[in-house]
A and B are shown apart, each in its own frame.
Chain A
Amino acid sequence: MKPAPSVILFSTLSGLGFGFLALLGLGLIATQGWPAFFHWAFGYAFAVGGLLSSTFHLGHPERAWRAFSQWRSSWLSREGVAAVATLLILAPQALSDWLGLGWGQGFGVLGAVGCAATVLCTGMIYAQLKTVPRWHHWTVPVTYIAFSLTGGLILAGSGLWAAVACLGLGGLLAYGWRIGDSAFARAGVDLASATGLSGLGRPQVFEQPHTGGNYLMREMIFTVGRRHAAKLRVIALVLAAGIPALATLVLPVLPALILGGAAHLAGAMAQRWLFFAEAEHVVGLYYGRMSGNS
């Protein structure tokens, strides 16, 4: 699948933002007054900035409001509804923390649940697709949530907890990649079942249906960069989990936060790029793509 920069930015930034907002909502980052204002503003900036960048890849961003209507069937619609609802629910908590209004933690806790729901919806947009076997697995939404939580904990300067989360994230990534590599084969689709020609014999592409490119090939049969997949996996693992874990354990809070946070975000982007670039869509079968060797 084509790794659209706007979607990579969206899912990494908003994931990080919602993770940080959830911790603020739960009161695990205790702040008051102006520090509280800046903490909340930071979380909102990431979450809202990410959401806005997601509209850049739309053909008609001016119609984006329509995406709030189909929450009954569509995970993408649910994500939009959950994101906006969460940001609204958390607002009173932010105000209360900033101005010392003493409204308790109710809005915050509810908002934290909303954060988790939003990130879950993001993951389910991909995990629901049977057409991309690598994505059609429980590790996908769990990885999205793990990224969100780990990023939040790193930015919260929570030391040991952040290191533990990094360890969990690293393990999950390694497991996800291992499972993902055989996902296409497990899905049991090949050119024979795609064409219904299995009874006749073994089909191979004789000639492509068109000599130029088309939307399907550009969008879903993206293969650039799979050659470097193994290197990118190591880079993603080291940046997203390794360096932040070490930084939070070894360095003082502020340098750990800056170095760990920056490394984690870069690692998250590398992982997200791979997430798209390595994912193979079954439509590639019609064009002669086979799992793993293209």
Chain B
Amino acid sequence: MTCLPAHTDKKLGLVVDLDTCVGCQACVTACKGWNDQGYGAALSDQDPYGADPSGTFLNRVHSYQVTPHDGGTAKIVNFPRSCLHCEDAPCVTVCPTGASYKRSEDGIVLVNEDACIGCGLCAWACPYGAREMDAEAQVMKKCTLCVDRIYNENLPEEDREPACVRTCPTGARHFGDFADPDSTVSKLTRDRGGVPLMPQLGTKPVNRYLPPRPKDRPEEASLLAPLLDIKAQGLAGWLDRMLGKLD
């Protein structure tokens, strides 16, 4: 049923730390790798080794240059983009067949691929570009929050989190329950001022992005300043003093 649940017991989702993401694309490949071998249709590629390669991915890492409002040095922000598992998910309600649904137990938004007619309307309804139609299977693919990992008792406990989170070498991705105020994701969101994306569209995304910490300000003294303030000693010190008197 494509009506949204009035309440979900858990709100599982991701926190993405834009301060520590280095844009290595490991989450992209880990996601593609895991979702090629189990849940639903494999993520296909078209012309993968040819002149015009294209393929289905559930996670894309953008790269933005951000110029501070006060004109400081521009900085690069790597920005992973995937499904935000919205509380008010427009992709679910537009689905004509009931293939798209949001689980009432944990809030994960999924597609029942056997009922998907491949009309593409859910992808149109998503502001975040989280859904891609697989050109081979002709059904809609999206992030499952690795529903086949997080509850999988055949995996070691440390592997029971989404592939993108497990693989991230800088710990920029965190998985947890936003309905629990004491969870890591809730605390991170509180402490670091985690933001939702395009809140004005009313989708109530669950995932949060942690803004990069301010740095690279030329006017601010470096944290290393005390170490850099080296006083020359001995012969070098004498030379320093003598040369200083010349001008």
User: Chain A: residues with CB nearer than 8 A to chain B?
Assistant: 1, 57-61, 63-64, 66-67, 69-70, 72-77, 80, 125, 128-132, 187-189, 191, 193-197, 199-210, 212-216, 219-220, 281-283, 286
Q: B200 and A207: CB pair below 8 A? A: no
Among B72, B95, B115, B124, the most chain A Cβ lie within 10 Å of the Cβ of: B124
Q: A212 and B64: CB pair below 8 A? A: no
Chain A residue at smallest Cβ distance from B201: A130
Which of B64, B98, B211 is close to A70, meaning CB atoms less than 8 Å apart?
B98
Q: How far is the CB of A191 from chain B (nearest CB, A)?
A: 7
Contact with A along B36-72 (1 / 0, CB 8 A): 0000000000000000111111001111111111001
Q: B69 and A129: CB pair below 8 A? A: no
Which of A73, A188, A200, A215 is close to B132, meaning CB atoms less than 8 Å apart?
A215
Residues of B within 8 A of A1 (CB): 124
User: Chain B: residues with CB nearer than 8 A to chain A?
Assistant: 1-4, 18, 52-57, 60-69, 72, 74-77, 79, 81, 90, 92-99, 115-121, 123-129, 132-133, 135, 137-139, 195-202, 209, 211-212, 214
Instruction: Give the 8 A-B residue pairs with the shortest CB-CB distance, closest first.
Output: A59-B118, A59-B138, A196-B195, A66-B97, A77-B96, A283-B129, A67-B96, A201-B68
Known: A60-B117, A203-B77, A283-B126. A213 touches B52 (CB 8 A): yes
Residues of B within 8 A of A58 (CB): 117-119
For the residues of B in contact with A, the DSSP-based class is loop
Residues of B within 8 A of A69 (CB): 96-98
Known: A80-B96, A206-B76, A286-B62. A200 touches B198 (CB 8 A): no
Residues of B within 8 A of A215 (CB): 56, 123, 132-133, 135
What are 27 A-B pairs with beta-carbon distances under 8 A?
Answer: A58-B117, A58-B118, A59-B116, A60-B116, A61-B117, A74-B94, A76-B96, A129-B124, A131-B90, A131-B127, A131-B201, A132-B124, A187-B200, A193-B198, A194-B127, A195-B197, A196-B197, A197-B64, A204-B67, A205-B65, A206-B65, A216-B123, A219-B124, A282-B127, A282-B198, A286-B62, A286-B81
Q: B1 and A194: CB pair below 8 A? A: no
Q: A66 and B115: CB pair below 8 A? A: yes
Known: A216-B132, A283-B129. A206 touches B96 (CB 8 A): no
Docked pose: A90 CA to B213 CA in angstroms? 65
Known: A58-B118, A66-B97, A76-B94. A212 touches B195 (CB 8 A): no
Given contact pairs A59-B116, A59-B119, A189-B201, a sample of 17 additional A-B residue pairs in the complex whose CB atoms are under 8 Å apart: A1-B124, A60-B118, A63-B116, A67-B119, A130-B90, A131-B125, A195-B79, A200-B212, A203-B66, A206-B65, A206-B76, A209-B60, A209-B81, A220-B123, A283-B127, A286-B79, A286-B81
Residues of A within 8 A of B60 (CB): 209-210, 214
